[in-house]
Structure 1
Amino acid sequence: MRVLQPVTLEGHGVRLEPMQPTHAAALAAAVQDGALWTLHFTTVPTPDGCDAYIAHALRGQADGNMLPWVVRDLASDSIIGSTRYHDIVAAISRVEIGYTWYAARFQRTHVNTACKLLLMTHAFDTLDCGVVALRTDAENTRSQAAIERLGARRDGVLRHFQARKDGSPRDTVMYSVLRAEWPALRERLAGRLDRRLEER
């Protein structure tokens, strides 16, 4: 697995830009579309918590276990959410994709598929990863459905695995995509994305 460095990824109407402190105001505006921070099973910041959210992500980047991006919609030239690699284990060529959220008006659009295609392409084809993993709260059925639509394999549930932001214990659903599964998945995602964009 190659060393992870901040990089801009672009395609299918979105651009993933390396997260910077200057993105705080734009993220604060995006998070207010749908009051996303009120969902107890998400890791979405409050509007006034975006500076701390970015600082935490950049500390993870400095420590080598995170690589965060903001998501820009190219049509409106606006920041609409965030995503990152996290829990990076270079010794086994593993990254997880998570901390993903989008302004409410961009949910259930082409955006999530576009972002995941960019992130997985970079992970497998550039970084030479052996596996890309995803996780979500067992109560977040919408997120589970989105991950399963991508074609990731459901590996299982880790019970009482971590604390939610309100302190309650969380069961975590784990998913993964192996390098051998990637070519077929890439073709599937690209085809699905082309169809979604044609319908716009």
Structure 2
Amino acid sequence: MIHTEPVTLELNGVRLEPMTAAHAPDLARAAADGELWKIRVTSVPAPGEEAAYIDTALSMRDAGSRLPFVVRDLGSGTIIGSTSYHDIVPAVDRVEIGYTWYARSWQRTHVNTSCKLMLLRHAFDTLGCKVVGFRTDNFNHASREAIARLGAQCDGVIRHSALRRDGTVRDTVMFSITAGEWPEIRAHLEYRLGRFPARAG
């Protein structure tokens, strides 16, 4: 049975640090890069909502269902986004990776692949997960494509499953990677990072 606890992970000039209440101003600055709260299919905190966003994440952590991180670029020392383990089910050795967003200037760089590789390595190689899941809004095409590029398999669609920030109800697309698939996916992600080096902060 897996046991998750706060941990700091580092790779390729990117560090994942346990989220704390003190990160609110940093997350506000990251979200302002691209005004990410205006994107309909994400849950990025709007201005003034950062403290509540963090409080929710930490409450879920205390309940055992989520492990939230901030993403730091080590070159500049700047917080550039957030990601989490969530829907943690120790009885079946399962976690999901989500609540992921990055400042616009860091999208389509080495950052997402680096973060996913760190989280997947920790989940499979350290925690001993049997499966790692991902979920996204049916209309979040960029997220769906990014998850598919990792090598995750689509498990299906949960229809009419969750509220969006604008009050509409989304369909949720579910993906997963199993422990048996992990060695090949790890090699694939390491290869991708070798062709997509870190940039200076």
Report the TM-score range of the alignment, normalised by the length of the smaller protein: over 0.9
Aligned to 2:183: 183
Q: Do the aligned partners of 1:93 and 1:131 also contact (CA within 8 Å) in 2?
A: yes
SS of equivalent residue, structure 1 residue 59: helix
Q: RMSD of the TM alignment (CA)?
A: 1.2
Aligned to 2:83: 83
With the length of structure 1 as denominator, give the TM-score of the two structures.
Answer: 0.97
CA distance in 2, matches of 1:170, 1:198: 35
Amino acid at match of 2:33: D
Matched, 1:114 2:130: no
Q: Do the aligned partners of 1:29 and 1:47 also contact (CA within 8 Å) in 2?
A: no
Q: How does 1:86-97 map to 2 (within 5 A)?
A: 86-97=86-97
Matched, 1:39 2:39: yes
Q: List structure 1 segments (4+ residues) > 6 angstroms apart after TM superposition.
A: none
Aligned to 1:145: 145
SS of equivalent residue, structure 1 residue 47: coil
Matched, 1:133 2:133: yes
SS of equivalent residue, structure 2 residue 96: strand
Aligned length: 200
SS of equivalent residue, structure 2 residue 180: helix
**CA drift at 1:199:** 8.6
**Unpaired runs of 5+ in structure 2?**
none
Query: Structure 1 vs Structure 2: percent identity of aligned residues?
Result: 57
With the length of structure 2 as denominator, give the TM-score of the two structures.
Answer: 0.97
**CA drift at 1:76:** 1.1
Aligned to 2:73: 73
Q: Do the aligned partners of 1:136 and 1:143 also contact (CA within 8 Å) in 2?
A: yes
CA distance in 2, matches of 1:3, 1:184: 25
Amino acid at match of 2:21: P
- CA pair 199-78 structure 1, distance change in 2 beyond 3 A: closer
**CA drift at 1:47:** 2.4
